[in-house]
Every structure is written in C-alpha cells, then in structure tokens.
C-alpha cells in the first residue's frame, strides 16, 4: 500500500491526539482512503518533554520549517496555534507544494483569504475541519451536506471552554475563575484564555461558518463580539426562573437588509435542544431553505475529539490526491470568484429581545421612571421580576425581559436609565433568542 507522510507542527493537546488517533485507527483509516498514513516528522518547542503520544518512531525537531520543507513530507499538519509562526509555516508549506491541514481558527478567520489564494495558485489543499466546533464535522455539513440549500441562519455554541464554565456555574454554583482553571488543565482553553472568555475564539469560528454558509469573504472584523465575563451566578438563576438558559452563542443571520454576525451570551428557552448542550459539548443549529432546521452536536474541544476532525481532513487530502485542483471542493464551499460582498449589518440595526438586570433604590416612582424611558424608546416589557429587598443592602435587583427591539433603541434606553439617580452601576443586558 502507498504511504502518505505527515509532517506535524505541534505535539500538544491536538498534535498528540492526532498521533494517537492515526495510530489506534490505522487499519480502518487505510481501508477508507487506500493509503497508509504515517507521521514521519514532527516539531515542538521542547522535544525532550513527555508527550501524551508515542513519538519513538517520529523524527523530532525544534525547527518547524525543517518539517515543512522535508522532501518526504506530503501533508503538513499545523497544530501550533496563533497567527504568526503558524501563518509563516502554512505559507511556506504551500510554497513548497505541500497540502495543509490545520485546526487553527484564528489563522483561517484572519488570514484565510490570503492562504486560500496561495493554495489555489499552487494547486494544493488547505483543510480546516477542526477549526470550528472541535470534533463536529460542521464544515463538511455546511460545505457539502447542505450545499443544495440557501442557508437562512445559523446559531451555535462554538466555544467549549465558555460552555463548560457556564454549565459548571449553573449546575454546581462554581466560581468562574476556578472553572476556567480546570478548562485550561483539561486542554480545552486557548493558549491565551481571554480568547475563550471574551468571545474572540467564537468570533473566529463564526467568521468561518458565515463565510461557508453565505458565500461571503471572511470578515472577522465585522463580528460584534461579547464574552461571558459579565455573567454572574445571579443571572444564571434569574434566567432559570424565567424559563431560559444562558448560552454563549455565535449567530449569523441573513436578513433583507444584510447579514448579522454576532457572538454574545444569549438567553434561550430552556425547552430548546441547544439550551441543554452542556459542558465542553458544542452544537450548531443551521436553518436551510430546503431542509429546515438541522442540529449538529459533539465535543467542541479536547485531544481525541479534535484529532478526529484533523484525521478526517488528512484522509480527505489523501482521497483527493489524484483529483485535479479545479474539481476539488472549494476551500469556502463557493467558487472563489463567486464570493459576494453582501452588506454586513452594524449591531445597532440588529433586532433582539433582551434580558435586563439593574440595581435600583427601593423607593416610590423608580419603576415608573424606568418603564417611561422604555416606552419612549418603543420598548415593551414582557416579564418583570422585582426581588424582595435584600436585608442590609442599599439596592434591590430588578430583572426584566423585553419584546423585540432594535439594538440602537436599547442602547439609548439603557444610557437614559443609567442616568437615573435611583439606578446604581450599569444595566446588564443579555440578548434573548427564541431560535425559531
């Protein structure tokens, strides 16, 4: 049987998992693709470090360029992360006519257009299934399985670390920082975990999903991004009381005016399947014009789960080796010249329902003043909870759900409410999505 030699850049959580999955499932993989796939060369910062995989039959180096340019290497698998060295190595691989597999969403979201153009010119493939939602084959589902549809919208829990934190806060009342530390130990978090908790990682992934769903250029800077750091255990409990769960969602929606791209904590009705996706699991809900809503679920991070997607890409490359470049599946699912510069909507033009939480002085007329401001901005209230005045505290928490309103109107109303003398601190707002 013919052999394909992989050059692996990175032997950490995903790199180690990739070696393990290739080894454990070697026979099944060969039966599927008709090649024996072996990792011949690998690089890491410290090649003396103990690894989660057996590296005894791999030639190790600290120099990733030596792996990329080694004449035996057919496919370069980039699992370093970041977009400096990783970008340099991916472009070097393409320049040397090597196919590339990567799990690096930051790289694809920020530099994908340049990378795909270089790959297309050189006639090589760049595969990136593991870059979105870990082990869930969502790229393949969108690019191939749903290719007959006009995608109307998609919404997903696409950061495992964030979902793990929100789940542990809700189920066990655990502290944010403590759960984040555990996610880091489990290998779920990014090298810089602010990418996870501030929504940047999810924004990278949404950029990629939106591009494939709507056939638009990768537009990372247009994603409105909000993380989960302002969510308290109190919000998690309030949401529960109102019949909702708080999830960190990436949402891409086609409207008549343009495309919405946003990542933020969201209240979802507790009865929705996606509201019950917990821990490190991810899920993406996609609404296609022909098929209707479809849901994809699985592990969003972790060694073997992510390696499952990396290995699937290596197999795809092997299978396509003898297919002419023009007949292969385009990197973003649409022919490159067909990517359309559709209007991307500013956040002010996005319509949403809202959960609002504020701390008010418990005195006559406060509620009337707040409801007047909301009314003046055309915002109507759907539900309201005023908790009993906590003993020894100066303020009382006031929580409300609104009907649908433009973000711009909500911003104006919140600014006015925050100026009321009876309001203490900032008004916390979480958008609410019925996901219908």
Q: Which residues are catalytic?
A: 205
Considering the rule CB under 6 A, would residue 161 count as an interface residue with ligand HSE?
A: yes
302 binds, among ligand HSE, ligand NDP, none (CB under 5 to 8 A by kind): ligand NDP
295 part of the interface to ligand NDP, by CB under 6 A: no
Q: Determine, following the binding rule CB under 6 A, whether residue 180 of this chain makes contact with ligand HSE.
A: no
SS (H, E, C) 383-424: EEEECCCCCCCCEEEEEEEECCEEHHHHHHHHHHHHHCCCEE
- Identify what 298 binds: ligand HSE, ligand NDP, none; CB under 5 to 8 Å per kind: none
303 sits near ligand HSE (criterion: CB under 6 A): no
Of residues 203 and 347, the one with the C-beta less far from ligand NDP: 203
Q: In 3-state terms, what secondary structure has residue 333?
A: coil
User: What whole-number distance in Å separates Cα of residue 310 and Cα of residue 401?
Assistant: 42
Least CB distance from residue 18 to ligand NDP, whole Å? 9
Does position 167 interact with ligand HSE (CB under 6 A)? The reply is no
Q: For residue 88, state whether it binds ligand NDP (rule: CB under 6 A).
A: no
**Which residues within the stretch 89-148 sit at the binding site for ligand NDP (CB under 6 A)?**
103-104, 130, 134
Question: Which of the listed partners (ligand NDP, ligand HSE, none) does 196 bind, with a CB threshold of 5 to 8 Å by partner kind?
Answer: ligand HSE
Q: Out of 33, 67, 189, 307, which residue is the one contacting ligand HSE (CB under 6 A)?
A: 189
**Spatial distance between the Cα atoms of 431 and 407, rounded to a whole number of angstroms:** 9
**How many Å apart are CA 251 and CA 432, to the nearest integer?**
12
CA distance linking residue 415 with residue 370, whole number of Å? 11
Q: Which of 346, 344, 352 is nearest to 404 (CA)?
A: 352
x/- site string to ligand HSE, residues 244 to 283, per CB under 6 A?
----------------------------------------
161 binds, among ligand HSE, ligand NDP, none (CB under 5 to 8 A by kind): ligand HSE
**Which of ligand HSE, ligand NDP, none has residue 168 at its interface (CB below 5 to 8 Å by kind)?**
none
147-157 burial, b for 16+ CB within 10 Å, e for fewer?
eebebbbbbbb
Q: What stretches of 235-291 adopt beta strand conformation (E)? A: 244-254, 259-269, 281-288
- Please choose, from the candidates 361, 340, 354, 363, the residue with its C-alpha nearest in 3D space to the C-alpha of residue 412: 354
Residues numbered 152-211 forming contacts with ligand NDP, rule: CB under 6 A: 187-188, 190-191
Angle at 214 between CA 212 and CA 217, to 5 degrees: 70
CB atoms within 10 A of CB 83: 18
Q: Which residues bind ligand HSE (CB under 6 A)?
A: 134, 159-161, 188-190, 196, 201, 300-301
Q: Which residues bind ligand NDP (CB under 6 A)?
A: 10-15, 43-46, 49, 64, 79-81, 85, 103-104, 130, 134, 187-188, 190-191, 301-302, 306
């Amino acid at each position: 049987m013919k052999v394909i030699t992989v050059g692996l850049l990175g032997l950490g959580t995903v790199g180690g998992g990739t070696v393990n999955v290739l080894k454990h499932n070697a026979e099944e993989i060969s039966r599927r693709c008709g090649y024996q796939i072996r990792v011949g060369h690998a690089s890491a910062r410290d090649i003396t470090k103990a690894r989660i995989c057996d590296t005894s039959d791999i030639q190790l180096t600290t120099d990733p360029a030596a792996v990329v340019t080694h004449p035996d290497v057919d496919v370069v698998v980039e699992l370093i992360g970041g977009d400096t060295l990783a970008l340099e190595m991916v472009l070097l691989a393409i320049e040397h006519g090597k196919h590339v597999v990567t799990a690096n969403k930051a790289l694809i979201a920020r530099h994908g257009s340049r990378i795909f153009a270089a790959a297309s010119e050189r006639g090589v493939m760049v595969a990136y299934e593991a870059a979105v939602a870990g082990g869930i084959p969502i790229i393949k589902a969108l690019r191939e399985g749903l290719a007959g549809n006009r995608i109307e919208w998609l919404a997903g829990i696409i950061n495992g670390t964030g979902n793990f934190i929100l789940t542990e806060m809700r189920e066990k009342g655990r502290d944010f920082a403590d759960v984040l530390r555990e996610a880091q130990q489990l290998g779920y978090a990014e090298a810089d975990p602010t990418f996870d908790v501030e929504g940047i990682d999810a924004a990278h992934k949404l950029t990629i999903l939106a591009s494939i769903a709507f056939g638009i250029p990768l537009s990372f800077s247009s994603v409105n991004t909000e993380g989960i750091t302002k969510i308290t255990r109190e919000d998690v409990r309030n949401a529960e009381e109102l019949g909702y769960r708080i999830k960190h969602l990436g949402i891409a929606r086609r409207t008549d005016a343009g495309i919405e791209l946003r990542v933020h904590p969201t209240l979802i009705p507790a009865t929705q399947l996606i509201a019950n996706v917990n821990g490190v699991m991810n899920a993406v809900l996609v609404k296609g014009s022909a098929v209707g809503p479809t849901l994809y679920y699985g592990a969003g991070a972790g060694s073997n789960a992510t390696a499952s997607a990396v290995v699937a890409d290596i197999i795809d490359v092997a299978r396509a080796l003898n297919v002419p470049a023009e007949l292969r599946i385009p990197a973003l699912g649409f022919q490159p010249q067909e990517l359309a510069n559709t209007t991307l909507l500013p956040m002010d033009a996005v319509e949403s329902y809202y959960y609002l939480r504020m701390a008010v002085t418990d005195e006559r007329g406060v509620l009337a003043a707040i409801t007047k401001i909301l009314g003046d901005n055309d915002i109507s209230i759907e539900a309201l909870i005023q908790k009993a005045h906590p003993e020894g505290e100066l303020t009382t928490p006031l929580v409300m759900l609104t009907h649908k309103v433009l973000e711009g109107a909500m911003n104006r109303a919140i600014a006015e409410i925050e100026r009321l003398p009876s309001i203490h601190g900032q008004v916390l707002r979480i958008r609410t999505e019925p996901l219908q």
